[in-house]
Amino acid sequence: MAIKDLLVLLDAVDETMPAAAYAIGFAGRADAHLTGVAIAAEPIIPPLLVAPVPVDLINETRLEAERKAKDAVARFEAMAANAAAAVESRFVTALAGSAASVFAAEGWLADLIIIGQDNPEAPEAARGALIEAALFDAGTATLIVPYSGAGRPEISRVIVAWDGSRTSARAIRASLPVLAEADLVRLVVVDRPPAIGGGEPGADVAAYLARHGITVEIDTVPSEGNSVAAVLLAYAADEAMDLLVMGAFGHSRMREFVLGGATRDMLRAMTVPVLMAH
């Protein structure tokens, strides 16, 4: 199934909006509809404050959040003025602590969610929660764009991380429309995980993709004591890859998710766009 409906989170803090710029180009390439969503979240008031927070301060904080979100919408609309795709924008308000669930609901009927990596020079307190909501609550494949930007959304050279897990298989299925457009698909296996049903690691994936008309090269690389994220990013840089596809792993704890190590490391250190699915 082709990707025809995209959702992008509009950055209210980072005014360069790298995810929005990438999403506009991606939508044009895919001839897809793009919706930009800006969220104005009401402030969270800690319950154990000694003195009550003045109502005026609460209102000022809320109005400031709304102003920033509306400014983000205006910047997005200016960026998309000459877009080669159908583009619309939404301004949404969220009650205190509910921004993540509101964003996840916005993505329920999207084919792909695009969101920017948290920028340490312009940090956003809720960015991690928003990314986790997209990955684990929306049920939608999510493409994270590095805060340093990614330029034009080229997808001619794609690296696919394979570790024999359900989440890796889910990411591969979700990325089929993207893989079909690539000139080169490289399946990278770190430290030879077991293959499904035995045999060479990655051979079963190559056979699956071949049935979809996608030719894949398999490369097994050792970690040599490095993290999986570091190995994959180094490989992507050395081979000039445009996009990395991988499964997003998380541990459920009560009603929240705790990101798995490889996923957490990738979100911190990523230097290329990463398409994840859970």
Domain ranges of the chain: 5-145, 157-277
Q: Tokens standing for 138? A: 């929306």
With a pLDDT cut of 90, the percent of the chain lying above it is 65
* 157-277: CATH, from 3.40.50.620, 1.10.3720.10, 3.40.50.10800, 3.20.10.10: 3.40.50.620
What's the CA gap between 56 and 118, in Å, rounded?
Answer: 30
Q: What is the structure's pLDDT at 78?
A: 96
Instruction: Quote the pLDDT of residue 151.
Output: 73
Mean pLDDT (the chain, rounded): 88
| CA nearest to 128, candidates 103, 163, 91, 93 | 103
User: Is the pLDDT reported for residue 141 higher than 50?
Assistant: yes
- Summarised one tens digit per residue, pLDDT across range 8-37 is 999 988 888 999 999 999 999 999 999 999
Class of domain 5-145: alpha beta
pLDDT at res. 263: 86
Using CB atoms within 10 Å of the CB of residue 87, give its burial: 0 to 12 exposed, 13 to 18 middle, 19+ buried.
buried
pLDDT above 90 for 206 = yes
Q: What is the mean pLDDT of residues 137-143?
A: 94
- Split at pLDDT 50, 70, 90, the class of 45 is low
